[in-house]
A and B are shown apart, each in its own frame.
Chain A
């Protein structure tokens, strides 16, 4: 699910100021309200911010999803095959980008896909912005 070449992610990364530390999420483009939900994210954290998490740090990224307030908490990348260059490391700074197919994950947990969704992620000490979106049946 990590895709460095995604134009959306590149645009996101380009918006981060140099001093930014944390995670930022954006909703993927959708044709209509019945289209699947995807989120794109970028992160830039220090080593100390993710101390104790597995490497690459994205393996410890947590997705917190609520569909009509029914929560689901998972690590979407923990079981993925990750490679050392999935993240960029420069001195003390770790940065990367990711894409999560929220609807695909939600379909495994919820009986219905339609509803009001709240989505955020965490990585070590950092919490992202919270996104909200509605999905029609």
Chain B
């Protein structure tokens, strides 16, 4: 298992600021394996903060007891630490090599499958996001996403 790949770190430097530029939503680069995130900006306290991303894994990377589900742990580090889990949409990716009901075929083990998702950050973390600079990332096993530096502003709406 590998740590964050150089490709993923390079990807993290791509300046994606808004989900409205959907055509520029995160996509794995050719050959890239792992997790990529982008967060909606500007982000305001009390308003939903959408985070979009991708998970690009092969069967060998799925390490969970649930054969068809993905689990990501999200971390928001900043004035206050918050973390939470996201169980995905339950979409079939490939059978889990460790716990699946059947042994995966060689092609399932090596086939790369990419899933795209959008989550609301407060829901995943189980609490509202506080104002300030937040460093957001997600991980699964030894795969860690890029870090998104998100400035969460106080809501100025009267």
Please list the residues of chain A having a beta carbon within 8 angstroms of any beta carbon in chain B: 51-54, 60, 62, 64, 66, 69, 71, 73-75, 78, 118, 120, 122, 124-130, 132
Q: A62-B81, A69-B64 are in contact. Are A130 and B147 (CB under 8 A)?
A: no
Judging by beta carbons under 8 Å apart, are A127 and B147 in contact?
yes
Q: How far is the CA of A127 from the CA of B8 in the complex (A)?
A: 12
A48 to chain B, nearest CB (A): 9
A-contact bits for B23-64, CB 8 A (1 contact / 0 none):
000000000000000000000000000000000000000011
Judging by beta carbons under 8 Å apart, are B3 and A126 in contact?
no
Closest to B85 in A: A71
Q: A51-B133, A52-B132, A122-B137 are in contact. Are A130 and B144 (CB under 8 A)?
A: yes
7 further A-B pairs in the complex, CB-CB below 8 A; given A64-B73, A71-B139, A73-B83: A60-B81, A69-B64, A69-B71, A75-B81, A118-B1, A120-B144, A129-B3
Is B149 in contact with chain A by the CB < 8 A criterion? yes
- Which residues of A have CB within 8 Å of B144? 64, 120, 127, 130
- Which residues of B have CB within 8 Å of A71? 73, 83, 85, 139
A-contact bits for B57-97, CB 8 A (1 contact / 0 none):
00000011000000101010111010101000000000000
Q: A52-B132, A69-B141, A118-B142 are in contact. Are A125 and B147 (CB under 8 A)?
A: yes
- Which residues of A have CB within 8 Å of B4? 127, 130
Q: A69-B63, A125-B135 are in contact. Are A62 and B77 (CB under 8 A)?
A: yes
Q: A64-B73, A69-B63, A130-B3 are in contact. Are A118 and B141 (CB under 8 A)?
A: yes
- Which residues of A have CB within 8 Å of B132? 52
Judging by beta carbons under 8 Å apart, are A122 and B142 in contact?
no
Closest to B134 in A: A52
Q: A64-B75, A73-B73, A122-B75 are in contact. Are A130 and B81 (CB under 8 A)?
A: no
- Give the top 9 A-B pairs by smallest Cβ distance, nearest first: A52-B133, A73-B83, A130-B3, A71-B73, A130-B142, A129-B3, A62-B77, A125-B147, A75-B81
Judging by beta carbons under 8 Å apart, are B139 and A64 in contact?
yes
Q: List 13 A-B contacts (CB under 8 A).
A: A52-B78, A60-B77, A71-B85, A73-B73, A75-B77, A122-B147, A124-B147, A126-B147, A127-B4, A127-B137, A127-B144, A129-B3, A130-B1
Q: How far is the CA of A78 from the CA of B4 in the complex (A)?
A: 25
Judging by beta carbons under 8 Å apart, are B77 and A53 in contact?
yes
Q: How far is the CA of A118 from the CA of B1 in the complex (A)?
A: 10
Q: How far is the CA of A96 from the CA of B1 in the complex (A)?
A: 28
